[in-house]
Structure 1
Amino acid sequence: MNKGLLAALCLGLAATGCSTQGQVDPDVMQIATTPLTCSNKPECDVWWQRAQTWVSSHSTYKIEAATDTLIQTAGPDGGKRALAFQITRTANPDGTATIGFAAHCDDALGCKPNPWQAGADFKQYVRGNPTNAPQSGVKPSQSAPTATHPDAAQGQSIPATNGEAMTQ
């Protein structure tokens, strides 16, 4: 599935009712929207392996594709709250790589778990930080980022208006 189609799917699912049951914690939002960029090939390879491990252990759906640039699960199934994932690895001109995260469901009551929390957990795990531990170098934001926030860079984050379907 290409990124444009995935973004449209995520936003389309948001419009069909993936409603949020509350506000997303600003600290969770900050972690979820911070770009996941590895510095060199050895680090990127370790992070990519961690990404696959995280998806394998957190997805209700089976992994349908696992390549050097894509990890994608099946789903979402109609009316299911479980998250489907698409993880991408894109090489940058400076020799780094960016790992993108997308999570979405297809239920009017919202997703379980919350996609923003899943994104934050994923990024902390891939970086080697324990879940719920403060992330070095990241200062909590005072307000949740919006689609125009600098952290919402291409390939990183397209926050839905309701906070449920997301692409990072």
Structure 2
Amino acid sequence: MKNKSLLAALCLIALAGCVSQGQVDPDVMQIATKPLTCSNKAECDLWWQRAQTWVASNSKYKIETATDSLIQTAGPDGGKRALAYQITRSANPDGTATIGFAAHCDGSLGCKPNPWEAGAQFKEYVRGTTAGAPQSSAAPAQAASDAMHPEAIPGKSATTPNGEAMSQ
């Protein structure tokens, strides 16, 4: 009888872990899905510089491409949980620009960090609303060739309400 009770308790604990594992905090989701639109060339250039700095500081993969409209890392490597990033910048007809964020991995146990959390952190950093975000147009702190990143869910991509791709 003890074994059945123990087994039932372990099953409930395992089930509870499965239920909560894929959930994302609503506040994080709101930040991650809010469009990242800069209002003028000076702001857009600053935000683009911050975007490259964030990717260089947070990616385990090296930056392969860094242009005025694309920042892309290598990866994801087969079976790895680390996030690969693709950041885009596209001009809007009204003179603003939208910076897009996409993150994905290839790990069967999920991405680390969570792509939604990474997206929220990226957007806060680029907007300058987090500690450590440069407030002026200072040069990126780390060269693109030195870019490396923390581990991250499999390469399932989802599209946010504003059309940006994110892994789940």
Give the Å deviation of 1:21.
2.3
Cα distance in structure 2, aligned partners of 1:71 and 1:158: 14
Verify the 8 A CA contact 2:34 2:162 in the aligned structure 1: no
Q: Report the 3-state secondary structure (helix = DSSP H, G, I; strand = E; otherwise coil) of the residue aligned with 1:99.
A: strand
> How many residues of Structure 1 are paired with residues of Structure 2 in the alignment?
123
Partner deviation per Cα, 1:58-98 (whole Å, 9 max, x = no partner): 00000000000000000000000000000000000000000
Verify the 8 A CA contact 1:152 1:158 in the aligned structure 2: no
Q: Report the 3-state secondary structure (helix = DSSP H, G, I; strand = E; otherwise coil) of the residue aligned with 1:35.
A: coil
Give the Å deviation of 1:54.
0.1
Matched, 1:153 2:159: no
Structure 1 segment 11-160 matched on structure 2, within 5 A: 21-130=21-130, 152-154=161-163, 157-158=164-165
Task: Let me know the Cα RMSD of the aligned residues.
Answer: 1.8
Give the Å deviation of 1:153.
2.3
Equivalent position amino acid for 1:51 in 2: A
Partner deviation per Cα, 1:131-157 (whole Å, 9 max, x = no partner): 6xxxxxxxxxxxxxxx89xx7123xx3
Verify the 8 A CA contact 2:101 2:165 in the aligned structure 1: no
Runs of 4+ aligned residues of structure 1 deviating over 3 Å after TM superposition are none
Equivalent position amino acid for 1:111 in 2: C
- Show structure 1 runs of 5+ residues with no match: 1-19, 132-146, 160-164
Q: Report the 3-state secondary structure (helix = DSSP H, G, I; strand = E; otherwise coil) of the residue aligned with 2:32.
A: helix
Cα distance in structure 2, aligned partners of 1:111 and 1:126: 22
Verify the 8 A CA contact 1:21 1:110 in the aligned structure 2: no
Verify the 8 A CA contact 1:91 1:98 in the aligned structure 2: yes
Cα distance in structure 1, aligned partners of 2:86 and 2:70: 7
Higher-RCO chain (CA-CA 8 Å, sequence separation at least 6):
1
Equivalent position amino acid for 2:162 in 1: A
Cα distance in structure 2, aligned partners of 1:73 and 1:107: 17
Larger relative helix fraction: 2
Partner of 2:4: none
Partner of 2:8: none
Partner deviation per Cα, 1:85-121 (whole Å, 9 max, x = no partner): 0000000000000000000000110000000000000
Equivalent position amino acid for 1:35 in 2: P
Give the Å deviation of 1:158.
4.4
